[in-house]
Amino acid sequence: MARQAGTYISVTTSGEEVRAFLPAPLPVQPPVVLPGARLDSAEKAIHDLNLVAQMVPSLDWFLYGFVRKEAVLSSQIEGTQATLTDLLAFEAQEDGAPTPDVEEVCNYVEALKYARAQLGSAKGLPLSMRLLNETHKRLMRGVRGASKAPGQVRKTQNWIGGSRPGNAAFVPPPPGQLPELLANLEQFLHADKPMSPLARAGIAHVQFETIHPYLDGNGRIGRLLIALLLEHWKVLPHPLLYLSLFFRRHQAEYYRRLSLVRTEGDWEGWLDFFLDGVATTGEEAVKLARELFALVTADRSKVLAASTASVYGLRLFELLPSNPIITVNSAIRLLDTTKPTAGKAVSALVDAGVLEETTGRERGRQFVYGKYFNRLGAGE
């Protein structure tokens, strides 16, 4: 039985008649044949990542960095130029406005934080389009696309690629079809199906991207949806999988695989690619978490052995994985102490070879936990 990926209907938009694509409803028919070896590798990587998360003494260390890494990478796929360095340097500041690109990444972090809090609260919004709309509103606040109905499912036709609808690479469903398509997607997310949740998350991502329910920000919300689903389904209780690294490394293949689902119904090819991404980035996250933990353990010993060791210095060191770029002012806030005491704590970590000053200035100096930061940002 041949698989029908969807149907095309004629729509007129911006004065041109074009063919818009309506994806077939979920679940996929005939059912997807999962790539067994790929699925096994992906599930093992997730299992190992969960083990690492349970074994480290402070999960916050890794959540801070991994969430921000995913935010940067997902935003970069959409053309944002901000780096992890830019984001963490801004967060270390006490004042000053972010650049537009950094603000987009900050919005991603806040959007994910909001959505996780909602799903984790008995009084929060359930996994639904209402939740995604509120998340989208936070993602687009004050940045590019802020004028394109943030938090609202689109009421006009959009298109992907090209300068106009007539030469677009892809024309998503017209707005009148969205309620039915999105309702079907929600049903799929909540259905009790005997399918691997990793595969379900991969299928949901493609369907969401194909529906393209917003005028802007669809890619970032669609990738954020993967993290929310894995957490909601208790596959990975924390967003430690920065899957956007794999998508960005293989960006052309990422888009090609999305397109082949639409043109040929090639769900198997997409899931082979997607599960390879889960396995690859999961294994890398496990390796990175272990390396960061070993680094922090070794550096803690150096801080304790230093001649300038102090209680405040050790307290500041323990905060570095969640604040790998600091200033004396941010140290004052983190330690809730005076400027002289914070300054001595920073100096103690410099003397221990943990922090390094990066500006070369006398005033407004910035200190970086270089070895930790460089390893965290690998692959950025």
> Which percentage of the chain shows pLDDT scores above 70?
98
Domain 307-376 has CATH 1.10.10.10: yes
Q: Cα–Cα distance between 116 and 225 in angstroms, integer?
A: 11
**Cβ(82)–Cβ(74) below 8 Å:** no
Torsional sign, CA 214, 220, 224, 225 = positive
**For range 88-97, the mean pLDDT:** 81
Q: Where are the domains of the chain?
A: 6-287, 307-376
CATH number of 6-287: 1.10.3290.10
Q: Where in 179-324 does DSSP place strands (E)?
A: none
| Res 93 pLDDT > 90 | no
Position 147 confidence tier, pLDDT thresholds 50, 70, 90: confident
Tokens of 115: 């959505």
Position 376 confidence tier, pLDDT thresholds 50, 70, 90: confident
End-to-end CA, the chain: 43
Position 187 confidence tier, pLDDT thresholds 50, 70, 90: very high
| Res 43 pLDDT > 70 | yes
**For range 226-242, the mean pLDDT:** 93
Question: Is the backbone peptide bond immediately before 57 cis, with ω within 30 degrees of 0?
Answer: no
For residue 39, CA distances in Å to 45, 108, 227, 351 come to: 10, 29, 17, 48
Helix axes 267-305, 59-77, angle to 10 degrees: 130
**For range 48-56, the mean pLDDT:** 88
| Res 149 pLDDT > 70 | yes
